[in-house]
Amino acid sequence: MARATQKQALGRGLSALLSDPSNDITSVDDKNADKVVGSIVELDLNSIDVNPFQPRTSFNEESLRELASSIKELGVIQPITVRKIEFNKYQLVSGERRFRASKLVGLATIPSYIRIANDQESLEMALVENIQRQDLDPIEIAISYQRLIEEIQVTQETLSDRVGKNRSTIANYLRLLKLDPIIQTGMRDGFISMGHGRALINVEASADQLDIYERVLRDRLSVRETEAIVRDYREPSVKKPGTKKAIPLFAKDAKKELSSLFDSHVDIKINGSGKGQFVFPFKNREEFQRILKLIKREK
């Protein structure tokens, strides 16, 4: 809570700084530029223009509506990134889906990372330093990795060298950003761990992710228990036709004896702990009555 309040206070301070024409920041050499690079501020959506060089020109409407619904309920979890082009005017660098979805639900402002003309090196330093902090949650780390890849335009291999982490570690963090936003929020708030998130990411459908997530919270499941549920979801145990579990020799002998005694097929099922049951199948009522009489006679 203290961290969120601190971020909000910082955002308000930056807003005042950026709205002062006498203190317009256009270069990393300008006064207070160090307060801008790598920080988050709430920006007026109307002050942001989309990037005309954005290679992506079409956006799935249904997907946008789903994101808009999530933003309406939870807010913008991952800030967009903009480049300052003039006083109180910005150009979108990344996050156009979040930008468009925020407009759909009528938001006035959106949390944004601000970049300035020549801040490439400063931004990289700020992000790498941020990743080394001890109090970051897994989603914050994942977002920092994503920003380095998208905005500094480095590969996962190069990023691995720069932050001193294995490429597989970076990939595991980045995959967390594919989780449903509600689950991402739960991880940021400490309701589940990164281990839970890594298990849930193997479930493709968002609705199924949420079903399992709710069960994890309700039953306070461990990571291992969550992994088992996900395995059952992905690979449900289906008994192949014509295959039967082997039964002990004593049960096989009894099965033959009973089948002969009742002049009908008798099955015996035994589980791993040694417990079992007799099964007397019948085709109709008459056969049922016949078997029942024989059982009573044997008593």
- 8 pLDDT exceeds 50? no
Highest mean pLDDT among 26-35, 73-82, 155-164, 177-186: 177-186
CATH match of 1-117 with 3.40.309.10: no
Position 292 confidence tier, pLDDT thresholds 50, 70, 90: confident
* pLDDT tens column, 191-249: 999 999 999 999 988 889 999 999 999 999 999 999 999 988 877 654 445 444 556 66
Examine the residue annotation and report whether 96 is marked as an active-site residue of this protein: yes
- 134 pLDDT exceeds 70? no
- 58 pLDDT exceeds 70? no
Highest mean pLDDT among 76-85, 125-134, 191-200, 266-275: 191-200
Q: Annotated catalytic residue: which of 66, 96, 225, 287?
A: 96
Listing DSSP states for the chain in one string gives: -HHHHHHHHHHHHHHHHHT-GGG---STTSTTHHHHTT-EEEEEGGGEE--TT-S-----HHHHHHHHHHHHHH--SS-EEEEEEETTEEEEEE-HHHHHHHHHTT-SEEEEEEE-TT-HHHHHHHHHHHHT-SS--HHHHHHHHHHHHHHS---HHHHHHHHT--HHHHHHHHHGGGS-HHHHHHHHTTSS-HHHHHHHTT--SHHHHHHHHHHHHHHT--HHHHHHHHHHHHS---PPTT------HHHHHHHHHHHHHHTS--EEEE-TTS-EEEE---SSHHHHHHHHHHHHHH-
Domain residue ranges in the chain: 1-117, 179-234, 249-298
Global pTM? 0.51
* pLDDT tens column, 251-274: 767 777 777 777 777 777 776 666
pLDDT at 293: 80
Average pLDDT of the chain?
A: 78
pLDDT at 52: 64
Position 115 confidence tier, pLDDT thresholds 50, 70, 90: confident
